[in-house]
Amino acid sequence: MKVQELNKDGSVKKSFKGVKWIVILILAIALLGSSFTIVPAGNTGVVLTLGKVSTTSMSEGFHLKIPFVQDIEIMSNKIQVYETPASAVSKDLQTVSSSIAVNYKLISDKSPDMYKTVGQDYKTILVAPVVQECMKSVTAKYTAEQLITDRAAVGEEVKTALDSKLNNYGIYIEKFNIVNFDFSEEFNNAIEAKQVAEQNLLKTQTEQEQAIVVAEANAKQKVIAADADADAILARAQAQADANKLLEESLSDKVIAYEQIEKWDGVLPKVSGSGSGFLIDVGVDGVSSGSSNAAVSTGD
């Protein structure tokens, strides 16, 4: 049988042993829980000893720490995306509204310094204003038309400017993109009119070039045809000359006599002498018919 202790006034004494052990257990759990920490992957643990930032940091994983003396602040080292609109003025004083995106990350070794000098909200305090400043300074170097045609070069120059200003803080720029450029309505209309004029000019030049090509082709065809005709005429003339020469070389006295015999119709020729002034008619039988058939004429 359990005997209860009584107070002097006769009331029962209360036992606090159970409460004491519960308190001890709670304190032990709290002590154990504050003696280690786990840094998630892609992060760095910044060690605070009684509020002072330590120069050393904790990498991802399990770590022990001094209970109630040291605190661990988690700083992300993953790639983060910062998207924002930006407004600037071009070299030719055109208002430029753009949409940009910056991929950046905090280098783990620089995490303690970043926490000490800027804090955890370094995107708002540091990244955002530097991005706007670099965008304005680079945009002012280009005309509005160049911003459109040389967008890649503009983006690279902005990225270089960001690196020069943010690398010292331990922020590395992975990528910078100009998502969109937008200009005033008047400028957009002027650009559209210029493009239409350039297209019309290009069309006219193309048509003129095609006409020139066709004219040159026709002229060449005429020259070729004329050369061909001249060559044909010369060839025919040469052939005729060669034929004439061959014919002339083939003609001889015998050939001429033979041709005369072939063409003789059997009638003897009449001979006249201009010196004596007489004409003899030779009969068919080769005998003279006498004085009656002989005609004598006296020359004048």
CATH entry, 80-183, from 3.30.479.30, 3.50.50.60, 3.30.413.10, 1.20.120.160: 3.30.479.30
Give 80's pLDDT tier (boundaries 50, 70, 90). Answer: very high
Judge contact between 5 and 15, C-beta under 8 A.
no
Q: Which of 108, 126, 109 is nearest to 117 (CA)?
A: 126
Q: Residues near 52 by Cβ (< 8 Å), separated by ≥ 6?
A: none
Phi and psi at residue 18, to the nearest 5°: -65, -40
- Is the model more confident about 34 or about 205? 205
Task: State residue 93's pLDDT score.
Answer: 87
Q: pTM to 2 decimals?
A: 0.54
List the structure tokens of 137.
């300074």
- Is the model more confident about 300 or about 140? 140
Task: State residue 100's pLDDT score.
Answer: 93
Task: State residue 254's pLDDT score.
Answer: 62
Task: List the chain domain ranges.
Answer: 17-75, 80-183, 189-259, 265-300
Q: What distance in Å separates the CA atoms of residue 47 and residue 111, rounded to the nearest whole number?
A: 10
Average pLDDT over all residues of the chain: 78
Q: Residues near 65 by Cβ (< 8 Å), separated by ≥ 6?
A: 34, 35, 36, 37, 47, 72
Task: State residue 171's pLDDT score.
Answer: 95
- Is the model more confident about 22 or about 2? 22
Q: Which has the minimum average pLDDT: 55-59, 212-216, 289-293?
A: 289-293
- For the beta carbon of residue 112, count every other beta carbon within 10 angstroms: 22
Q: What distance in Å separates the CA atoms of residue 255 and residue 253, rounded to the nearest whole number?
A: 5
The runs of H, that is alpha helices, within the chain are 17-33, 111-117, 122, 128-139, 144-149, 151-166, 185-250, 253-263
pLDDT tens digits, residue range 122-152? 999 999 999 999 999 999 999 988 888 899 9
Task: State residue 31's pLDDT score.
Answer: 64
Give 3's pLDDT tier (boundaries 50, 70, 90). Answer: very low
Task: State residue 106's pLDDT score.
Answer: 94
Task: State residue 231's pLDDT score.
Answer: 78
Judge contact between 69 and 51, C-beta under 8 A.
no
Average pLDDT over residues 182-195: 74
Average pLDDT over residues 201-214: 82
- Is the model more confident about 213 or about 159? 159
Task: With a cut of 80, say whether residue 221 has pLDDT above it.
Answer: yes
- Is the model more confident about 41 or about 244? 41
Task: State residue 205's pLDDT score.
Answer: 82
- Is the model more confident about 270 or about 292? 270
Task: With a cut of 90, say whether residue 174 has pLDDT above it.
Answer: yes
- For the beta carbon of residue 241, count every other beta carbon within 10 angstroms: 10
